[in-house]
């Protein structure tokens, strides 16, 4: 059996927010393999992320130019498959917090800037850690069509207040896979 590919999170946000750090921490726990953060130029962000994994200043396209890489981009025409995982060295996920309406930032910032193959993880925009969860499931042999993904989730804070997260979340045993600490963060 081929080794699991490296997972790269290309950090594309201007700063490392608390929400983003929560997703990154969960992504590291989910992957349980070699995870590399690229495009990290800020000293404070470097220090925080070095506690989670390997950190590179350069973009993934420069660090892995001689490797077989796949960029996960919602605008890709083909889905990621178990066969893709077994034949590539690196899978690149955009470190981007989404908007209610997708902006195509993965394409603008990563996929259009490299010659890497691109694949998608379904029709919904996923959280970063949700994308890692789905990628891991596919690399373990599941097909995308066999992974249940909710279109959005609602987090109830009290009888009056709630937050709707308009992103796709993987579902396991009828529960969405939500970033640990995110509900508490949103409640504040």
What's the pTM value of the predicted model, to 2 decimals? 0.90
> What backbone phi and psi angles, to 5 degrees, belong to 146?
-95, 0
| Under 8 Å between Cβ of 33 and 83 | no
- Report which of 73, 129, 83, 81 is spatially closest to residue 103, judged by C-alpha positions: 73
pLDDT above 90 covers what percent of the chain?
65
Alpha helices per DSSP H over the chain: 18-31, 43-50, 60-63, 82-87, 105-109, 128-139, 182-187
pLDDT band at 1 (very low <50, low <70, confident <90, very high): very low
HEC-encoded secondary structure of 135-166: HHHHHCCCCHHHCCEECCEEEECCCCCEEEEC
Residue-level pLDDT at 173: 94
pLDDT digits (tens, 9 = 90+) for 62-119: 999 889 999 998 888 999 999 999 999 999 998 666 545 555 556 555 555 567 888 9
Task: Give me the domains of the chain, ranges plus CATH numbers.
Answer: 6-147 (3.40.1280.30)
State mean pLDDT over 18-30.
95
pLDDT above 70 covers what percent of the chain?
88
State mean pLDDT over 32-57.
94
């Amino acid at each position: 059996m081929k080794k699991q590919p490296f997972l790269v999170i290309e950090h594309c946000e201007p700063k490392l927010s608390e929400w983003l750090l929560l997703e990154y921490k969960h992504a590291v726990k989910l992957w349980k393999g070699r995870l590399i953060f690229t495009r990290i130029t800020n000293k404070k962000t470097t220090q925080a992320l070095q506690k989670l994994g390997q950190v590179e200043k350069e973009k993934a396209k420069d660090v892995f130019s001689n490797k077989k890489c796949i960029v996960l981009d919602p605008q890709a025409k083909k889905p990621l498959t178990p066969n893709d995982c077994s034949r590539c060295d690196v899978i690149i996920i955009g470190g981007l917090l989404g908007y209610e309406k997708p902006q195509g930032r993965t394409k603008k910032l990563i996929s259009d800037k490299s010659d890497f193959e691109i694949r998608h993880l379904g029709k919904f925009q996923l959280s970063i850690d949700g994308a890692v969860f789905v990628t891991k499931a596919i690399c373990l042999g599941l097909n995308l069509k066999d992974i249940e993904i909710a279109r959005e989730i609602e987090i109830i804070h009290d009888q009056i207040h709630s937050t709707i997260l308009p992103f796709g979340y993987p579902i396991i045993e009828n529960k969405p896979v939500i970033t640990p600490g995110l509900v508490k963060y949103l409640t504040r």
